[in-house]
Amino acid sequence: MLKTVFLFFLILDPTISTPREESVDEKFSSAILPESYHLPNSYTSTETDSTKQRRPVISKGLLEDLRLAQYDFSEENQREEDEEEEEEFDDFFGDIGRKKLNALPTPENMISQERFSCVSCEAPDCDEEDICENAVVCYTAHVRDVDGEEMKSKGCSPTHSHALLTCSTERYDGRHVQKKHGISAQYAVDCCQGSMCNNATDWPALPDVPTVEKEPVPVSTEQNSHIIKLLLAVICPVAILGLLVTVILVVMRYRHRKRMAELNAVDLDYQDEMVGLRAQAAGDSTLREIFDHSMTSGSGSGLPFLVQRTLAKQVGLRECIGKGRYGEVWRGIWHGESIAVKIFFSRDEASWIRETEIYSTTLLRHENILGYIGSDCTSRNSCTQLWLVTHYHPLGSLYDHLNRTALTKMETIKILISCITGLVHLHTEIFGTQGKPAIAHRDIKSKNILVRADGSCVIADFGLAVTHTQATGETNIPQNPRVGTKRYMSPEILDMSMNMQLFESFRRVDVYAFALVMWETTRRCMTHEGVEEYALPYYEMVLPDPGFEDMRKVVCIDGFRPQVPQRWEDDPVLAGLARLMKECWHENSNVRLPALRIKKSLIKIACLEPKLGVMVQE
């Protein structure tokens, strides 16, 4: 009803019906409403030069038809139709004010009283067709929604207002909506008059989705300068703060390193040459003064008992440098100097007692035996701690040294000769009023040998040591539940054929273990053919922590020994070391060489090369 009234006013009011001169391409911003209406020439009067206006051609028959159209339905149906069409009319009226009326069928046809039958089918696929009667116009519609899905439908317009709304715009591409929102719908409608005229009508072609080109927003010089100032205001304080923090950290790191260097500084003047003949004072100036005033010449007992009993109170522990089955090893500070503190677990008290006894042995002190300072028993954190205080060697054990460093021939010979020199001193009994008993270590391995700063070695860990005095014929075997390291056990221990009453048997056990240490060290000796990676003895035959039966099978039953690489045979020094170690790990303990003979053989092998010979003679 409202649409009919509006159409009526549109025809009567020349200001409404007069279209502006615009291109057909101008579109509405709505994807649903038509974007322009083209009024045919037969619908308007000719434009005059004076007024530039168009007047409608109005006939009485047209007015009469419009009035009759208002009463086609009953009053109740008319009210419902008015309510349903009110919203459509509002949108239609808003758009019609911005666009032209154009391209409608001629007014005579649109308002004719003739009615048709049309094909009707629903979107989206128009699968099921039906027939609608009493139509003014038949139409075929093709729509693409914002998601790109296409829908097709056919139908009829039963009223003139519906026909005007449906057929007013044939195509719409949604350009303005696309520009504003980035998405839009498109549609195309074909209208026709005649019975079933839309039956065989092809679907109207949809316009392409418009491409909207966005113009770049120019940035002015003022905006650039503002951004630069903002960045500088943020970055500069952060950079300055970061620089200050970096300087502070560098200074603190430098001071820390300097302080640690002072703590770790050890005067090495007391160390002898590898096979030198003279003995020098042990330790730095502070320790040297204490030793010089507290022990007789040649004593190996460390500090006097009176000093040892207060030793724990004078030592400050700094860092843990090792852990083992016996306990822990810490680096400590005593009188401003670095020392090593071996802390035993309370359950391993027997090892602490035995090691303290061995270190307290007269004339034990030697350049290739770990320097002993004292022992003490203290309580910390409600726990009893057994301390053994010795000299500190920053390079750690031979095991650690071989893992991180490959050796030259000179370094290899120096390590082996210094180790066997210490073993000779242990095995040798010194006769006299204050003599020294013969000592067998019983746990020779690379982890119980420490490397000094000059590359020579010292023997440590005497918790399993056995002493023997020839005058009394007594062999002092400690009552210690600990046993040696299974990997380094000799065949006679593994098959339990060793004569425990004969002290020489213990010496031969040490020789067998030293032969395995020789093999470990020689593997890391470089030649022109390269060097092997570090490996423990029998690494390819047993697990990392082998059991007693595993070692017995490999060593005694199968008779295996560590493999000698082929490159050793091509070098006279390494070939000589290989022959020597094979004699030392012989299955028959009586065939093994004594420690002093091994030392002489090593010196002889070193003389095969002039440089090594000169080093040994020095």
Q: What is the pLDDT of residue 99?
A: 43
Quick one: DSSP state of residue 89?
H
Q: Report which of 53, 26, 42 is spatially closest to residue 109, judged by C-alpha positions.
A: 42
pLDDT at 219: 60
What is the pLDDT confidence band of residue 115, given thresholds at 50, 70 and 90? confident
- If one compares 239 and 180, the residue with the highest pLDDT of the two is 239
Higher pLDDT, 63 or 597: 597
**Closest by CA position to 362, among listed 353, 352, 372:** 372
List, for residues 260-271, the tens digit of each pLDDT value: 777 655 433 333
Q: Pick the residue with more confidence: 527 or 21?
A: 527
Other Cβ atoms within 10 Å of 316 Cβ, number? 11
Total count of residues recorded for the chain: 618
287's tokens:
């320790």
Say if domain 285-391 classifies as CATH 3.30.200.20: yes
Q: pLDDT value at position 407?
A: 94
**Residue 95 above 80 pLDDT?**
no
Q: What is the band of 29 on the pLDDT scale with cuts at 50, 70, 90?
A: very low
Position 280 pLDDT exceeds 50: no
Question: CA 336, 341, 344 angle in degrees (round to 5)?
Answer: 160
**150-154, 289-293, 400-404: segment of lowest average pLDDT:** 289-293
Average pLDDT over residues 227-248: 92
Under the banding of pLDDT at 50, 70 and 90, the label for residue 454 is very high
* Lowest-confidence pick of 69-73, 193-197, 231-235: 69-73
* Domain edges within the chain: 2-106, 110-192, 285-391, 398-617
Residue 443: active-site member = yes
CA angle 367, 537, 354 (to 5 degrees): 45
Burial (CB count <10 Å: 0-12, 13-18, 19+), residue 309: middle
pLDDT value at residue 264 = 58
Alpha helices (H) in 406-494, listed in sequence order: 409-427, 491-494
- Least Cα distance to 455 among 412, 488, 492, 498 occurs for 412
The CA-atom distances, in angstroms, between 450 and each of 206, 302, 369, 394 are 91, 19, 9, 9
Strand 337-344 with 438-440, pairing: unpaired
Cα 183 from Cα 223, distance rounded (Å): 32
Return the amino acid letter for 282: A
Query: Greater confidence, 537 or 176?
Result: 537
Q: Are 339 and 332 in contact (CB under 8 A)?
A: yes
pLDDT: is 224 or 39 the higher one?
Answer: 224
> Closest Cα to residue 532, out of 546, 519, 548, 544?
519
Beta carbons within 8 Å of 318's beta carbon, 6+ residues apart = 263, 330, 331, 332, 333
* Tokens read off for 332: 């400590």
Stretch 441-470: mean pLDDT: 93
pLDDT of residue 456: 94
For the residues 468-494, what does the mean pLDDT come to?
Answer: 86
The 10s digit of each residue's pLDDT in 357-408 is: 898 888 888 999 999 999 888 877 777 888 999 999 999 999 999 999 999 9
Q: What is the pLDDT of residue 82?
A: 52
Task: Please count the other Cβ atoms lying within 10 Å of the Cβ belonging to residue 23.
Answer: 6
Q: Which position has the higher pLDDT, 520 or 162? A: 520
pLDDT higher than 60, residue 200: yes
Which pLDDT score, from 0 to 100, does residue 114 have?
A: 79
pLDDT band for 301, please (50, 70, 90 cuts): low
**How far apart are the two ends of the chain, measured CA to CA in Å?**
127
> Tokens 């709505």 appear where?
30
Q: For residue 618, is pLDDT > 90?
A: no
Name the percent of the chain in helix, strand, coil, to the closest 5: 40, 20, 40
Mean pLDDT score of the chain, rounded to an integer?
77
Supply the DSSP string of 197-248, one letter for each residue: TTSSPPPPPPPPPP-PPPPPPP--HHHHHHHHHHHHHHHHHHHHHHHHHHHH
Per-residue pLDDT for 74 more than 70?
no
Classify 163 as helix, strand or coil: helix
Q: Which residue has the tokens 């005095």?
A: 469
φ, ψ (nearest 5 deg) of residue 29: -80, -5
Residues 353, 70: Cα–Cα separation, whole Å: 124
Q: Which of 92-101, 169-178, 318-327, 563-572 has the lowest mean pLDDT?
A: 92-101
Q: Among 510, 340, 339, 298, which Cα is nearest to 422's?
A: 510
Of 604 and 617, the structure prediction assigns the larger pLDDT to 604
- Separation CA 463–CA 482 (nearest Å): 9
Contact 172, 28 (CB under 8 A): yes
Rank 28-42, 234-248, 321-335, 428-442 by mean pLDDT and report only the highest.
234-248
> At 590, which amino acid appears?
N
* Residue keyed to tokens 């420490």: 450
Question: Which residue has 């003599």 as its token pair?
Answer: 435
Report the share of the chain in percent with pLDDT over 90.
38
**Residue 504 confidence (pLDDT):** 94
CA dist., res. 9 & res. 4, Å (int):
9
Cα dihedral: 234, 237, 241, 246 (round 10): 80
**Residue scoring higher pLDDT (248 or 75):** 248
Q: What average pLDDT does range 37-55 have in this prediction? A: 41
Other Cβ atoms within 10 Å of 531 Cβ, number: 14
Under CATH, which number does the domain 110-192 receive? 2.10.60
The CATH H-level (homologous superfamily) assignment of domain 398-617 is: Transferase(Phosphotransferase) domain 1 (1.10.510.10)
Higher pLDDT, 312 or 151: 151
Burial class for 425, CB neighbours closer than 10 Å (0-12, 13-18, 19+) = buried
pLDDT of residue 73: 44
pLDDT score for 101: 36
Catalytic residue among 443, 461, 510, 571: 443
Q: Phi and psi dihedrals of 476, rounded to 5? A: -90, 100
pTM: 0.54
Structure token digits, residue 284: 């730095």
Q: Go through 577-602 and write b for each residue having 16 or more CB atoms within 10 A of its CB, e for each that does not.
A: bbebbeebbbeebeebbbbebbbebb
Q: How confident is the model at residue 558 (pLDDT cuts 50, 70, 90)?
A: very high
Question: With 60 as the cut, is the pLDDT of residue 328 above it?
Answer: yes
How far, in Å, CA of 447 to CA of 488, rounded? Answer: 11
Q: Residue 72 carries which DSSP code?
A: S
CA 417 to chain centre: 46
Backbone angles phi, psi at 141, to 5 degrees: -120, 145
Task: Beginning with the edge strand found earlier in the chain, give each strand of the sheet holding 337-344 in spatial order.
Answer: 316-323, 327-334, 337-344, 383-391, 372-380
Q: How far apart are CA 298 and CA 286, in angstroms?
A: 19
pLDDT bucket at 277, cuts 50 / 70 / 90: very low
Classify residue 501 by its DSSP letter.
Answer: T
pLDDT at 600: 94
Banded model confidence at residue 113, pLDDT cuts 50, 70, 90:
low
186 neighbors 102 (Cβ within 8 angstroms): no
Quote the Cα angle for 440-574-534, to 5°: 70
Task: Return the minimum-mean-pLDDT range out of 125-139, 211-225, 490-504, 588-602.
Answer: 211-225
